[in-house]
A and B are shown apart, each in its own frame.
Chain A
Amino acid sequence: MDYFLSEEQQMIVDVARQITEEMIVPQRAELDETEEYPRDILNAIAKADLYGLYIPEAYGGFGGGCFEMALALEQFARGCTGVATAFAASALGAYPILISGSDELKKKYLPRIASGEKLAAFALTEANAGSDASGIQTTAVLDGDHWVLNGTKQWITNAGEAQIYTVIAITDKSKGARGATMFVVEDTDPGFSYGVKEKKLGIRCSSTRELIFKDCRIPKDRVIGRVGMGFITVMKTLDQSRPGIAVLGVGLGQGALDEAVTYAKQRVQFGKPIISFQAVQHILADMAIQVEAARALVYSAAKHIDAHKDDMSKASSMCKVFATDMAMKVATDAVQILAGYGYMREYPVEKMMRDAKILQIYEGTNQIQRNVIGQELNKEYTRAS
């Protein structure tokens, strides 16, 4: 379907698609097997000016928003959700600075993130703080001109590969929701190290590791926004970034549909291509409907978010749930169409099915998204009555 992209937006799609076709698709199976971080692909993405899509021109970016970022992410995920995740994680790490950081902090970090020279990562999750962010135990204590961090973050995408980390820690336990603060930690800061690399079901070329802070000393001016505002920054960050996860679902779903239709046209059983069987056609038709519906919702939500920074949560959560549940279903259906061949690593759909699962989990599980939507509905209808 035609989404009436501007000429510049179409260029983003074209550049991202070319990288996907020429670099990501040929390498994805091997990257999945070796679990190697896709450095050369990310370098090409940087050279193609796509790391700064959502960053204002004043900080060296392209000056787009969620929507422009989504256009690129969709193409990458059509090739490989692992590569797309590694790319998207840098934006997730940059958003706290962009949303709440001082001008100095923005000037210091955003241009280098926009050029792709430095990668970023976002660190919220801990062993006892998954869906419930209030469970975090990492602490930051002011000591003269420095903050001293102690604790361990878990399952951090881009850990070990990024140079810039945005990290939330408790600064005053007694203050509850206002007791946490976000900081920028650099890879070279003393007392900062990484745990082992996790072995995962899917998105295996992306890096997922622990961040370990042992008396990690960082200069005082690395606070993002104000002390005590950490949770607010986290919520705003996730509201902005979730359409990015949603669109990974759209890209993955489209990739799975492409594979399924192509295969169904070629595979002959009972003397006919299997696409001539109505049962197969109906599965493909449902896949196509769902991919397109998800795309339409994600694009609309991204545009809404770019226009309404004070009213993002519901749109953001709705598109995340819908598009990622869709991706899981469509990828599973694609394996069904390819059947035995689909189950084999020779074809890309088994990897798509493994990759799809994470989309329903990270950046807030789909159950948590539904909670958010439910709470927003409750608020809206209370206001209305």
Chain B
Amino acid sequence: MGIWDTITDLVEAAAPWSTAEAEAPAEEPKEETSEDSKEEPEEEEAEEEDDEEEIEDPKEKLEEECKNSKQCAPAKHHFDECVERVTNASDDEEGKEDCVEEFFHLAHCASQCAAPKLWSVLK
């Protein structure tokens, strides 16, 4: 306990914000035990009933929109062209070309475009 602890204590006592406690609040244990015992059946019920409605991944949706947006049109154009070229060529020649680089450009454009939108949706 140095002088600094004293000051910190004083400041903490006076400050309007609170400190985090490791102990659960007194009433919570009751709730918790009841929760614990309930939890498993509840989960199963939930799975069977309401949670069957599919959760949709916002990342996939947003990136799909971004891929088709004007911003990523050049990258998408190159990628599509490459896919077409490679799928047509692979029969005769030993397919030497791949579309990884084109894929990178498109994926990068899409994820960059979707990043801020995604973060505003996720918790």
Partners in one complex: no
Chain A positions near chain B (C-beta within 8 angstroms): none
Chain B positions near chain A (C-beta within 8 angstroms): none
